[in-house]
Amino acid sequence: MLLIKENLLKRKSKDFLNQLERIILWFLVFLSPSQLIKHFWPSWSLVFGIRVDYLSLSISLSEILVLALFLSWSFKILLFEKKELKRTFLLISNFWFFGLISLFLVNLFFSDYKINTLFSWSRVFLLLWLFYYLVFYQKRRFSDWFFKPASFSLILFGFLALFQFIKGSTFGSLFYWLGERSFNKNTPGIALVSLMGRDFLRPYSTFSHPNSLAGFFGLFLILFLSFIPNSSFEVFLKRSVLSFSFFVFLLSFSRGSFLAILFCLFVFWLSKRKKLKEVYFWLVTLVFLISLFSLFVSDYWKEIPFLDKNIRERFSLIISTKDVFIKHPVFGVGLNNFILKTSYTFDIKAINYQLQPVHSIYLLVLSELGFFGFLFFYLTLLKIARVASLILKPWFFLALTFVIISGVADHYWLTLTQNRLALVFLISGIFQEKNGKRKNRC
């Protein structure tokens, strides 16, 4: 009798932890656009006396939720599923993980700001664990844990973006606690768009910039196309979210994201005539080669007279990247150290723009991780693209294409919490779909 009660208690405890994980994951997806972050400001996070968010030691609400999910999973594994520990060790003992650890140790050794680099790498490993959890330990399919919370999330944060565009200022109130910053269209440095002779605020929602919002919504939009509804309510929800989110995406007026969507349409057309497994290699390789090529022509492109100010400033950051790479070509300057190593080149008149990473995920990796890190990033992205190309439906490959192309013109996929999390959801979905998880509706 005592043994039966003990087994019953274990089963209830395990069921409780399973249910807790489902709740945490639901809120993690739902609150993924939030920007509620606690910042700490060490001395190196101030450049010319200005606080730089990218350099602060910080923890976000989303990262707290990932940590809570990790703790719940750890308790379950240690108490009830010790056999899974062996499986975990097998997963992390492969060549790819060994290469990542080697890159981390070398990058940390050559970094001048080791605490900053170590803290940034800790985020990488936390998100890496989330990927492993979603792919190998999450028993539900991608659409089962992603679709509904993501739907409500896009509606809530999308309405906030729409309100900001109409009002020309932020909403405040409850959204302040989700990370909405306080500003209006007259705030210096805020992103505006001119329509019919009037200036309108490009919506930020809870993101740090409309471009980041566009990347997040664009990625989620393509992922929603992969979902197959099972009820009339789900059909209505999918159509409503797609229509409304696409409208919000357009309101961002993000040229980089618009071009990425257009390129995705081209790849979709190409997929009807060629197999995607014949396309992925050239897509990834050409993007990396073009990024390298931009280092050597940025000096000339910057002098083209008809380019607008924003594009000229982006070329200035590429020129700074070239200087950093020439001085630290093999191992880079250390993760999240780009701003610190280029601050001596800043023009004080454009300081607000220059206090950010280079607008390219590929050049950012090249400068901070060196050529070896750049090569590792290339091989990793090539592997992910290959897996995505093998999935029967093209939506996951198109979503990855959107990230690959938009990453040429911006850095948010690697530097901002919301977009990093969205990227982990995408890559986890790719491997889940490839592994053919059995369907288990929520």
- What DSSP string describes 50-62? EE-GGGSEEEEHH
Rounded to two decimals, the pTM is: 0.92
- Answer yes or no: is 7 within a domain: no
> Measuring CA to CA, which residue among 390, 323, 396, 398 is closest to residue 363?
323
- Buried/exposed 394-420: b ≥16 CB within 10 Å, e otherwise: bbbbbbbbbbbbbbbbbbbbbbbbbbb
- Answer yes or no: is 33 within a domain: no
Domain count along the chain: 1
pLDDT classification of 277: cutoffs 50, 70, 90: confident
Terminus-to-terminus CA distance in the chain, angstroms? 34
User: So what's the pLDDT on residue 301?
Assistant: 65
Q: Is 330 a residue whose pLDDT tops 70?
A: yes
Domain span holding position 303 = 139-435
- Answer yes or no: is 194 within a domain: yes
Contacts of 129 (CB under 8 A, 6+ apart): 66, 70
Average pLDDT over residues 421-440: 82
Of residues 307 and 315, more confidence is placed in 315
Alpha-carbon distance values, 177 to 28, 34, 38, 206, 236 (Å): 16, 9, 11, 10, 30
- Answer yes or no: is 101 within a domain: no
- Answer yes or no: is 93 within a domain: no
User: So what's the pLDDT on residue 420?
Assistant: 96
Residue with tokens 């999910």: 69
> Residue type for 187, please?
T
- Answer yes or no: is 242 within a domain: yes
pLDDT classification of 440: cutoffs 50, 70, 90: very low
CA atoms of 298 and 145, how far apart (whole Å)? 44
Find the DSSP H helices in 252-359: 255-271, 280-301, 309-327, 338-342, 351-354
- Answer yes or no: is 92 within a domain: no
Residue percentage of the chain with pLDDT more than 90: 56
pLDDT classification of 283: cutoffs 50, 70, 90: very high
- Answer yes or no: is 104 within a domain: no
> Measuring CA to CA, which residue among 91, 186, 89 is closest to residue 136?
91
